[in-house]
Amino acid sequence: MAEVIKMPKMSDTMTEGVLAKWHKKVGDKIKSGDVLAEVETDKATMDLESYSDGTLLYIGAEEGKAVPVDSLIAILGAEGEDYHAALAADTAEAPKPEEPVAAESSSSTEPAAAPVAETPKEDAAAEVPAEEKPAEAAAEEAPKEKAAKGKVAEDKKPQAATEAKPKVDKASIPATVIRMPALSDTMTEGVINKWNFKVGDTVKSDDSLADVETDKATMEVVGYEAGTLLYIGPKEGEAAKVNGIIAIVGKAGTDITPLLSDDEEAPAAEAPKEVAVESGGSSEEVAEKSSSSEEEDDSASAPVSEADSRIKASPLARKIAKEKGINLSDIKGSAEGGRIIKKDVEEYVPAAKAPAPVAAAAATVAEQAPASESAQAPKPSAAPAPAITLPVYTGEEKYTEKPVSQMRKAISRRLSESLFTAPHFYVTMSIDMDESIKARTRINEIAPVKISFNDFVVKACAVAIKQHPAINSSFQGDTIRFNEHVHIGVAVAVDEGLLVPVVRFADGKTLSRISAEVKDFAGRAKARKLQIPEMEGSTFTISNLGMFGVDEFTAIINTPNACILAVSGIQQVPIVKNGAVVPGNVMKVTLSCDHRVVDGATGAAFLQTLKSLLEEPVRLLI
């Protein structure tokens, strides 16, 4: 009978594994104990062994793909056996909602990827009920007569839309929906500062439809579609949510009702829609208001020069040119038809042109002036010096994206849970390391392995913890666990992130033994050869950045530990000894504590004990 092989849980924090490499292929004979594949977990890359004999009938995950724990990855059975029944049974136990996700993605990715325009191909069936609350709010603020009409429209709209959906193919409508783009990473809505076109105007694909005021600047919205402007949503001065409909461009005379009735994502556009429905033939009034506001804005934003008003330029370009005092006639436009846009104004360098008229005027005066007026010759020298021309550097914004590794996912999840769940507080203390430096030098003369300062810190923490049990505890919800054993976790940096191997029973080990274990752990951690049990069970953690010359830092608690010690570098600074200022070697340490378990006085007392041990290292040997 075919046997299903599922993704095992290889560590206590593992939620999914990546199939790093398959060692067998479909049709291969498998024996119990054979390695089927290598699986990358959140902590290490481990071998996945088979516990049955048979033939590999099916592989359910490709190399490099992440598979959740307990999900099917392979099927073993007799050669030629039909495995589809086992596959179907597993699928029935854990259905995967792939089809709905695929259906949603086809409609949701387009608005996110396209800057402004999108074709009306998305299914808005799930969006219809979303309009009820915004529509009611808009109806309350509107006049009573409009509110009554709005309610009737609201009650009838979902029913009408539901009935019309099977009959209307929006893909066949020759019109494109223009949505409010996300013009900055923090933008949630934009205010229509000015419409540059009115309903019925013909627009080109590179025309700036409107100026939109975001949370950071006023920017142009380009439609990227050519045709007739059929619909304008929010009026000038009104806000529209990101991804909400602000306009529709298409073939003149197109019925755009299905596009508007199916979209419920832009509550800010409801008021303009209502006006459009109620006013009926009042589009001329709207057009007059729009054109008059355009004239007012143009007159306000255009430079003083009358010649500039005849030059084709975007409103934003005119505004910037006015602020900088630049004459638009001196700028060459890069858009279609020589139209000047924002980039042209920002890249314009007037310095190269400025000295020319001065030099020409000086030459003319010199030629025409009589010899008797030679006293006036120094006048050209009084002309302003040519402005300094700085080279224009145009950079290119680029980036690459890589999938998040299992280790990075685990770091993100575990440390976020720790920081946002455990209330952290920090205690910092400076330690005089002169005596530890002398002791290390003496010990390394006879020790079988080289002792590092980190080994001194590990041993000192283990001894100090025995005197302060609260530091060695963990919060369990309804109880607090006080660990009587001391397992010190030592953070080791690797290329993909961070691993924390554990020195077990560190309080009973010598400096040489601790040094040998830490060096072995560090080497195997960088080679990704650590085993899961070697990284579990810590009761206290040390993070040391001293080798990087760090003056001071704080660390996030490695839960379920109650504390973590951040160790900085040893700095040569002046210190006071016996009333005299002398050079000294000082190391700062910062203890991060979980306030649910450890109080400030407890953390400070632990650091005092640690300080005394490192300033008198002979006490570590007692």
Q: How far apart are CA 259 and CA 168, in angstroms?
A: 10
Give the long-range contacts of residues 293-298, CB within 8 A, separation 24 or more.
293/194, 293/195, 293/236, 294/194, 294/195, 294/196, 294/198, 297/194
- Beta pairing partners, 475: 480
Query: Which residue is listed with tokens 């080791």?
Result: 492
Are 118 and 173 in contact by the 8 Å Cβ rule? The answer is no
Q: How far apart are CA 119 and CA 107, in angstroms?
A: 10
Q: How far apart are CA 371 and CA 158, in angstroms?
A: 92
Q: Angle formed by the axes of helices 270-279 and 144-164, to 10°? A: 100
Q: Which of 53, 434, 507, 595 is catalytic?
A: 595
Is 595 designated active site?
yes
Is 599 designated active site?
yes
Residue type, 135: A
133-172: burial string, b at 16+ Cβ within 10 Å, e else: ebbeebbeebeeebbebbeebbeebeeebeeebeebebee
Residue 328: other Cβ atoms inside 10 A: 24
Instruction: List, in sequence order, every beta strand (DSSP E) within 214-311.
Output: 218-222, 227-232, 239-241, 245-250
In this structure, the chain runs to a length of: 622
Radius of gyration of the chain, Cα coordinates, nearest whole angstrom = 37
Q: How far apart are CA 529 and CA 510, in angstroms?
A: 25
Q: Classify residue 53 as exposed, middle or buried by CB count within 10 Å of its CB (0-12, 13-18, 19+).
A: middle
- Quickly list DSSP for 368-380: HS-GGGGGGTTGG
Q: How far apart are CA 87 and CA 410, in angstroms?
A: 30
Query: Which residue is listed with tokens 């002309």?
Result: 383
Q: Which helix (H) or strand (E) holds 45?
A: strand 45-49
Residues labelled as active-site residues:
595, 599
